[in-house]
């Protein structure tokens, strides 16, 4: 398998669809952070485990998975029960948790936010799509989520770097990935599709260096910076190939390197 150097939109769709068919399957789950929420069946456990594994998803994938497992073990592998019912003494073991720049101060605030949120809400879905919003736009949803997450007098300034926002022109790669996990639904059952109020058509591509490189190669991205506007540009191009489910091509653009390595 070789990457075509010059290709029109119809040929590109056919090519990327062929990569999606190889990557969007249960074999993909094993060595990806999405394997962490796949350990659970309760909706709220999936949401919380997915949120933490997505927020920890930078660096080596094996390390991300191991650190996510470590964190959930500290929650007795019952994240929803722990978030809602923990006592102050239960938090002490978590003070030693560190992943790169994500430290105990950040973790304890994450837990505090989730505790306050789940005390009055059934699902984290409404944090990204409040019931009073009629026209969903992911940019607005992520900006609102950032404001909600840090709407507390004791929110640590250092923790704000761990929740991205388009208001600062961030790509919001990890949040976009998390929303893909929760919202996308198909018969492959890699993504969960447990949030129904957010349309798949409005999801945005999780943009990292791998996706960026292939997006540029295929003419899906001309903007020089890797920022939110680049996310919008790529996603708008992907919508031309699949308007109902543009981020399905995350499987192709992210997984292309693996597919080429295994099928030269």
**Beta partners for 99?**
102
Q: How many domains does the chain have?
A: 2
On whether both 149 and 71 belong to a single domain, the answer is yes
Q: What is the pLDDT of residue 5?
A: 57
- Examine the fold and report which residue of 180, 203, 226 is the final residue of a domain before the chain moves on: 203
On whether both 170 and 256 belong to a single domain, the answer is no
On whether both 40 and 71 belong to a single domain, the answer is yes
Q: What is the pLDDT of residue 256?
A: 83
On whether both 126 and 189 belong to a single domain, the answer is yes
Rounded distance between C-alpha atoms, residue 81 and residue 116, angstroms: 13
On whether both 196 and 130 belong to a single domain, the answer is yes
Question: Where would I find the H helices in the chain?
Answer: 9-23, 43-55, 61-74, 79-85, 104-120, 125-128, 138-149, 173-183, 209-217, 228-241, 250-262
Give the range of the structural domain holding residue 224, as residue numbers without chain letter: 1-30+205-264
On whether both 64 and 141 belong to a single domain, the answer is yes
On whether both 60 and 132 belong to a single domain, the answer is yes
On whether both 22 and 51 belong to a single domain, the answer is no
Q: What is the pLDDT along the chain (264 residues), one digit of tens a residue?
A: 455 556 788 999 999 999 999 899 998 898 899 999 999 999 999 999 999 999 999 888 999 999 999 999 999 999 999 999 999 999 999 999 999 999 999 999 999 999 999 999 999 999 999 876 778 999 999 999 999 999 999 999 999 999 999 999 999 999 999 999 999 999 999 999 999 999 999 999 999 998 999 999 999 999 999 999 999 999 999 999 999 999 999 999 988 865 555 454
Q: What is the pLDDT of residue 27?
A: 87
Rounded distance between C-alpha atoms, residue 203 and residue 245, angstroms: 8
- Examine the fold and report which residue of 151, 173, 203 is the final residue of a domain before the chain moves on: 203
On whether both 181 and 54 belong to a single domain, the answer is yes
Rounded distance between C-alpha atoms, residue 14 and residue 18, angstroms: 6
């Amino acid at each position: 398998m070789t990457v075509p150097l010059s290709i029109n939109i119809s040929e590109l769709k056919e090519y990327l669809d062929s990569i999606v068919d190889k990557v969007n399957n249960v074999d993909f789950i094993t060595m990806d952070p999405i394997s962490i929420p796949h350990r659970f069946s309760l909706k709220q456990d999936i949401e919380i485990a997915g949120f933490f594994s997505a927020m920890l998803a930078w660096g080596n994938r094996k390390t991300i998975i191991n650190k996510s497992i470590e964190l959930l073990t500290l929650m007795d592998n019952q994240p929803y029960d722990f978030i809602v019912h923990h006592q102050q003494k239960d938090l002490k073991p978590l003070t030693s948790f560190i992943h790169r720049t994500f430290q105990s101060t950040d973790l304890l605030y994450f837990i505090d936010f989730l505790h306050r949120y789940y005390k009055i809400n059934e699902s984290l879905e409404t944090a990204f799509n409040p019931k009073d919003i009629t026209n969903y736009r992911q940019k607005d949803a992520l900006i609102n989520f950032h404001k909600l997450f840090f709407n507390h007098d004791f929110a640590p300034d250092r923790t704000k770097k761990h929740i991205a926002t388009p208001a600062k022109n961030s790509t919001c790669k990890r949040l976009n990935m998390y929303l893909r996990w929760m919202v996308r639904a198909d018969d492959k059952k890699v993504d969960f599709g447990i949030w129904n109020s957010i349309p798949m058509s409005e999801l945005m591509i999780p943009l990292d260096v791998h996706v960026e490189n292939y997006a540029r190669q295929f003419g899906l991205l001309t903007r020089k910076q890797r920022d939110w506007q680049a996310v919008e540009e790529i996603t708008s191009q992907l919508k031309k190939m699949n308007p109902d489910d543009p981020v399905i091509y995350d499987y192709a653009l992210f997984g292309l390197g693996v597919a080429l390595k295994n099928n030269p």
